[in-house]
Chain A
Amino acid sequence: MSDIKTRYLLVGFSVAGWWCARAIRERDRNGKIVALTKENGVYSPPLITYYLGNKVSTIDYRSGWMENLDLELVPGGEAKKLERENNRLILASGESFVFEKALIATGGLPIVPPIPGREVTGVFTLTTPRDMQEIREFMKFQEGERVTILGGGFIGLKTAEAFMELGVKITLVELANRLLQNMVDERGSYYLEKALERAGLEVIKEDTVSEFQSREGKLSGALLQSGKYLPGNLAVVAIGVHPNIDWLQGSGIELGRGVIVDEFQESKRAGIFAAGDVAETKNLITGERNVVAVWPEAVKQGKIAGENMAGNRLSYPGSLPVNTVSVGEVTLVSAGLVNPPAGDFEFLTTVSDDSYRKLVLKDGYLVGVILVNRIEKAGVYINLIRQKVKVESFKDRLLKEDFGMINLPAEYRKHLVEGASIEV
């Protein structure tokens, strides 16, 4: 088969790839873009659980804008190998592409620990439309369904949220002593657990599945480390994802946990960039390299990669873990360093029956925030973290009832608002 030539090759076309394509098009109207996706089309990953829970009727992502992107989409295009010496990429199907600039945006793959019985019918992961479809079809044959969800992190909770809509009896099993380990502290988790229990969900902490037991190849229940047994023929392993980089072994791309990139989102191989859940970047606050697999960072990294692939030289200030979860009656937002190591950190908090707010400060700067239920000013706090605005002089006002832009230094406020050509 002969090579297909393209100026830009996007390997993976989810949110990072999409915003990369858009950024390329703003600078380069005509350069050919080919986008590869393993899936059948362009979809929004966060909608998978909403779709399973019948809350949305499509998982399409901004399909109406595709025309403007003027790109060639290759569905079912799973990357298999990137040649070490050439800018040439080969697909599992055997097709090959020769490119000038490439974006690696192959996202993450679910982590499935080697639990005995993980291969039996009824044990699923839930990160792709195919997984979702398989779970839907499986459930059609079942009555009075019970589901065991292994993992009380972000994906575990999104999975729980979907099953709550389906009227299924849910047990959530988490190894740590709290849910959303990376997003909240124990108090934050407490509000979440209360809301889940009110919604009829069982939460088991400090325990994990030691074996998936089966009858005739079909799941019959999950045996926990504590000896507890959870009967049921449906389980979802939702521990998390790891960057999809195995196919890059031997390509000369420097790999850590993910594809290691510099501040321009460029890998060690010139002209090959990475963005989103597969990219290993510097953390905005700690400066440590890590993979921050959240939507807003994927957008930012994708845009910067796209600009730079099309000839610009923009730099990414660093990744900030940010996320929001709504389950049952609780909504929470988390950003930055919320469980800092021992050291010189200052904490500001407010606590009530149905809300909790915690700000983490270091040397007069905001570095982390947890908001439970009172989330309206979340973006203001997060932007103070991102822009590294010193909050020392107005920190006593940060958690006031009517906190807003007016409490911020005039210079910062005006800069923000002028950004959109307005003067306050």
Chain B
Amino acid sequence: MKRIRIHEEYCIGCRLCEINCLVKHSRSGKIIKAFRGEEPRSLPRVRVEEEGYLSFALQCRHCDDAPCLENCPTGAMYRDEETQAVLCDEDKCIGCWMCIMSCPLGVIQRERKTKKVASKCDLCRGEEIPVCVKNCPNEALAYE
């Protein structure tokens, strides 16, 4: 499968990945509406982590042996046959947070809207290139 590669040496910490991810996963898909008109605001599913001079953007790795999937009691967390991405079926999710407890990278969040759905990277379902990669100005993220 294609994966998002992270090159921390190129990351400049601009957070354009976060902004584009948030807009992509907002209801309107429009930047101003997403930030000003939608309450509560969507969450970016990629997060820039920073310490001193170092920074990188981190999102779900869609692990081969994904503990979030193994520990999901409803089967809401599943692997997409086509892209091999680990996705959350929001209709099945009961918000038990077993996935959050299981993720060694800490990249699953509680959806603010409902507090009942796990929010994570979905590789921008259907997009040829995920928006975080497409909008990275310094090639700190690559999809290959």
Contacts and interface: CB of A to CB of B under 8 A. Distances in A.
B129 interface: no
Contacts of A56: 74, 92, 94
A405 B101 contact: no
Contact of A296 (B5, B100, B102, B109): B102
B96 A326 contact: yes
A323 B71 CA distance: 11
Contacts of B54: 406
Given A296-B98, A323-B101, 13 more contacts: A44-B74, A61-B73, A324-B100, A376-B100, A377-B106, A378-B97, A379-B105, A380-B104, A402-B50, A406-B51, A416-B105, A422-B3, A424-B56
Interface of B: 3-8, 47, 49-51, 54-56, 58, 61-64, 67, 70-71, 73-75, 92, 94-98, 100-106, 108-110
B50 A405 contact: no
B66 to A, nearest CB: 9
A419 interface: yes
A267 to B, nearest CB: 24
Contacts of A324: 96-98, 100-101
A295 B95 contact: no
Most buried by A among B62, B96, B101: B101
Interface in A1-57: 15, 19, 44-47, 50, 55-56
Contacts of A379: 67, 100-106, 108
A406 B55 contact: yes
Nearest to B68: A379
B104 to A, nearest CB: 4
Contacts of B56: 406, 424
A55 B106 contact: no
A383 B102 CA distance: 8
A380 B94 CA distance: 22
A46 B96 contact: yes
A285 interface: no
A380 B106 contact: yes
A421 interface: yes
A298 B7 CA distance: 36
A383 B97 CA distance: 16
Nearest to B3: A422
A379 B71 CA distance: 12
Interface string A295-325: 1100100000000000000000000001110
Interface string A391-419: 00000000000101111000000001101
A423 B142 CA distance: 11
A333 interface: yes
9 contacts: A47-B73, A47-B94, A56-B74, A62-B75, A380-B106, A419-B61, A420-B3, A422-B5, A423-B5
Q: Number of contact residues on A: which range applies?
A: 35 or more
Interface in A249-295: 295
Interface of A: 15, 19, 44-47, 50, 55-56, 60-62, 64, 295-296, 299, 322-324, 326, 331, 333, 335, 375-380, 382-383, 402, 404-407, 416-417, 419-424
Contacts of A46: 73, 96
Nearest to B60: A420
Chain B CB within 10 Å, residue with most, of A323, A333, A378: A378
A376 B109 contact: yes
Given A404-B106, A406-B51, A406-B55, A44 B101 contact: no
A423 B6 contact: yes
A295 B98 contact: yes
B74 A376 contact: no
A364 B1 CA distance: 39
Contacts of B51: 406-407
A417 B71 contact: no
A424 B58 CA distance: 9
A309 to B, nearest CB: 18
Contact of A406 (B50, B73, B103): B50
A48 B106 CA distance: 28
A417 B98 contact: no
A382 B102 CA distance: 8
B61 A422 contact: yes
A331 B97 contact: yes
Contacts of A335: 101
Contacts of B3: 420-422
* Residue among B55, B74, B103, B109 with the highest chain A CB neighbour number at 10 A: B74
A44 B3 CA distance: 31
Contacts of A322: 101
A132 B88 CA distance: 27
Contact of A378 (B61, B70, B73, B100): B100
Given A406-B56, A422-B3, A47 B74 contact: yes
Contacts of A404: 47, 49, 58, 106
